Chains A and B, each alone.
Chain A
């Protein structure tokens, strides 16, 4: 919004318009100020990453690099472990998302549409499971994974993250809202539940599936505590664990740290820029329910 439009709208009528008031300008300035404050750390990280190492700790602090350079990025990329961690994060987040979708959709469908013995009992058990924070389980899970020999394997890192009963509830609520007529028509045609699920229910559920999928992916990508405990081999670490625990032997080098931070942040930021609407919906839908 520009001052001109505010003036123009004031001239237009007697009724106080909702958007273009002088007060609106104040709000715009306030919003911009807040947005800039929120962006400063990110911008500062990018700027630092483009400085030569000697400039980073110079006092007084300078905003722009005197001699901008990609040297820090080159060093980080040449070291190679960040690429490995990005790969691990991608593999683990993808597997967790796929398994969550498959197991939760199947279970939610059963709870919603199929009468079977023990249904309400099992559903109550899963609801109770929501109350158990994953943080409570790290000690026994580590013990269990040690026993099974799954520490420092993709399997051991990924599987415990799949158990998110809340997703069943979200999906079940959505499936419950699908009118029975659709599936009954399909049943009359002799379709089994799997066919109904795949051909009737799922096509109607793409928004909620996307929401659950995106939410799960973001959570798994950024999960720290369990991967921190179950991945000790640097070759199997995810981005947050690797960046958080592995040190450079030469001490703290800020330009390199910031270059690594920028590269580690990039994938989800790019995804967000490309699919902003879907990500926002995913987070609000799965978060709100």
Chain B
């Protein structure tokens, strides 16, 4: 059997047996052979096939950047494809990378990198080539850069960081009397101060103080847990601080039970609820910014509030990766690296979508510093809290979706924090016991 014969990008192409078999099969196909898709087009331009998972505001911004890139780089023929966010994208990513000829560069969540087969499905990024385009260790925040390294090799080029933040509706908050003189939301410290704030806002709306995605409660949970300094590891067995986890879950229970937040609000429903002003505040990803702005709302943004410690928020980073390639193709690789570097250098446009660029010269620029309301959470973005490290962890991965489905019951009141924690622990343990695919 061919158990030991899979692709590793470093290995020289084995034309021998595989080529022979391919030829045989192709002959059986009566001349159907060949038909791969060549990297170079007839016009002689380098073809660059880019895969991404951006729709909505992010998608529009990506298209805008791609148009600008095409104009500046007529020698590269950029073909972009958008797949559905989450599992459908990662399923296609895995299949395409395993096939080894479907795309030349793709965006992934940095938190997923280690679970996607670095070295087998993802090729290392040639650092010197990247440096030629001006991207080095020194131009990216260290915390993010380190996430791109696996066993000392660079496997990803980070575009941004993004995280869960607090949105506030200025009109409602003014009515509730919780705005500072300059129109920003008052800063709260600790659980009770936040609850007081939410109560005042609730009185102003007559319905709720805040909306948050109850079907995506992992984001809130991990933010709070990290504020408490909680750690989570998965080496053979789950290590979690029960007391800290319970305090976080109890907070989720409390805001719903006291009517400060709806018991149920799903991903599309949460920003809609915020727009419909059933609450004056929202916990949400910074990527909701363009939608709300397009809706013409008067709103501001702040970091996720300091409930148990520093105002830390759960987040992740979009990064470019190079797929494993069946036949090495220098030209496509050069084009891919040039493209990624260009995207980083021009990520001021990308910042319009609420994301914080990873490229330090951009975040250090005056243009970026002046962006509102991005300035309201810029500092928190520097300290984004990545998900715990495991092959089943990260954005849209199994641990998150297990946690989301368990924790939403705390919001609805269907389970107690204690039961939810037990369920989460056994779900996590089951993932740990699953043989890792990488």
In the complex, are the beta carbons of B29 and A159 less than 8 A apart?
Answer: yes
Of A13-21, A22-30, A141-149, the one touching chain B: A141-149
Of A60-68, A105-113, A119-127, A226-234, the one touching chain B: A226-234
In the complex, are the beta carbons of B60 and A148 less than 8 A apart?
Answer: no
Report chain A residues within 8 Å CB of B30.
99
In the complex, are the beta carbons of B37 and A235 less than 8 A apart?
Answer: yes
A206 at the binding interface (Cβ < 8 Å): no
In the complex, are the beta carbons of B37 and A148 less than 8 A apart?
Answer: no
**Which of A145, A158, A234 is the most central at the interface, judged by chain B CB atoms within 10 Å of its CB?**
A234
CA distance A248 to B62 in the complex (A): 12
CA distance A236 to B101 in the complex (A): 11
Pick the contact of A153: B35, B55, B59 (CB < 8 A).
Answer: B35
Interface residues of B in 75-107 (CB under 8 A from A): 79-84, 88, 92, 95-96, 98-103
In the complex, are the beta carbons of A158 and B32 less than 8 A apart?
Answer: yes
Of B18-26, B131-139, B232-240, B341-349, the one touching chain A: B18-26
Pick the contact of A249: B33, B55, B98 (CB < 8 A).
Answer: B55
Interface residues of A in 187-208 (CB under 8 A from B): none
B438 at the binding interface (Cβ < 8 Å): no
In the complex, are the beta carbons of B55 and A148 less than 8 A apart?
Answer: no
Pick the contact of A151: B6, B55, B60, B99 (CB < 8 A).
Answer: B99
CB distance from B325 to the nearest CB of A (A): 12
CA distance A269 to B343 in the complex (A): 44
Report chain B residues within 8 Å CB of A142.
95, 98
CA distance A156 to B76 in the complex (A): 29
CA distance A235 to B49 in the complex (A): 10
In the complex, are the beta carbons of B99 and A152 less than 8 A apart?
Answer: yes
Report chain B residues within 8 Å CB of A235.
37
Q: A148-B18, A246-B83 are in contact. List 7 more A-B contacts (CB 8 A).
A: A152-B99, A152-B102, A155-B29, A155-B35, A159-B28, A249-B82, A251-B56
CB-CB nearest in chain B for A144: B2
| A146-B7, A233-B101 given; A159·B18 CB < 8 A | no
A150 at the binding interface (Cβ < 8 Å): yes
In the complex, are the beta carbons of B83 and A146 less than 8 A apart?
Answer: no
| A146-B98, A150-B22 given; A236·B37 CB < 8 A | yes
CA distance A165 to B181 in the complex (A): 78
| A233-B37, A235-B37 given; A148·B102 CB < 8 A | no
CB-CB nearest in chain A for B13: A149
Interface residues of A in 131-145 (CB under 8 A from B): 142, 145
Report chain B residues within 8 Å CB of A233.
37, 49, 96, 99, 101-103
A170 at the binding interface (Cβ < 8 Å): no
**Which of A145, A146, A150, A232 is the most central at the interface, judged by chain B CB atoms within 10 Å of its CB?**
A232
CB distance from A82 to the nearest CB of B (A): 14
Binding site for A on B (CB under 8 A): 2, 5-7, 18, 21-22, 25-26, 28-30, 32-37, 49, 52, 54-56, 59-60, 62-63, 79-84, 88, 92, 95-96, 98-103, 326
In the complex, are the beta carbons of B32 and A249 less than 8 A apart?
Answer: no
CB distance from A163 to the nearest CB of B (A): 11
CB distance from A57 to the nearest CB of B (A): 13
In the complex, are the beta carbons of B34 and A248 less than 8 A apart?
Answer: no
CB distance from A92 to the nearest CB of B (A): 10
In the complex, are the beta carbons of B81 and A151 less than 8 A apart?
Answer: no
CA distance A142 to B92 in the complex (A): 13
| A153-B34, A155-B32, A245-B92 given; A234·B81 CB < 8 A | yes
Q: Is the interface of A mostly helix, strand, loop or mixed?
A: helix
Report chain A residues within 8 Å CB of B81.
234, 246
A95 at the binding interface (Cβ < 8 Å): yes
In the complex, are the beta carbons of A148 and B82 less than 8 A apart?
Answer: no
In the complex, are the beta carbons of A149 and B84 less than 8 A apart?
Answer: no
Report chain B residues within 8 Å CB of A248.
55, 59, 82
In the complex, are the beta carbons of B326 and A149 less than 8 A apart?
Answer: yes
CB-CB nearest in chain A for B84: A247
Return the CB mask of A81-96 against B: 1 if under 8 Å, else 0. Answer: 0000000000000010
In the complex, are the beta carbons of B22 and A148 less than 8 A apart?
Answer: yes
In the complex, are the beta carbons of B101 and A245 less than 8 A apart?
Answer: no
| A146-B7, A248-B55 given; A155·B37 CB < 8 A | no
Q: Can you offer 10 A-B residue contacts whose CB atoms are under 8 A?
A: A148-B25, A151-B98, A151-B102, A155-B29, A158-B29, A158-B32, A234-B81, A247-B55, A249-B59, A250-B59
Report chain A residues within 8 Å CB of B63.
249-250
Report chain A residues within 8 Å CB of B33.
155
A174 at the binding interface (Cβ < 8 Å): no
CB distance from A149 to the nearest CB of B (A): 6
In the complex, are the beta carbons of A249 and B103 less than 8 A apart?
Answer: no
CB-CB nearest in chain B for A154: B35
Report chain B residues within 8 Å CB of A154.
32, 35
Interface residues of A in 246-275 (CB under 8 A from B): 246-251
In the complex, are the beta carbons of B26 and A155 less than 8 A apart?
Answer: yes
A-B pairs, 8 with minimum CB distance: A151-B99, A249-B59, A232-B96, A232-B102, A233-B102, A155-B32, A154-B35, A247-B82
CB-CB nearest in chain B for A159: B29
Report chain A residues within 8 Å CB of B103.
232-233
CA distance A230 to B101 in the complex (A): 12
In the complex, are the beta carbons of A151 and B62 less than 8 A apart?
Answer: no
CA distance A155 to B26 in the complex (A): 7
CA distance A159 to B22 in the complex (A): 12
Pick the contact of B60: A150, A234, A250 (CB < 8 A).
Answer: A250
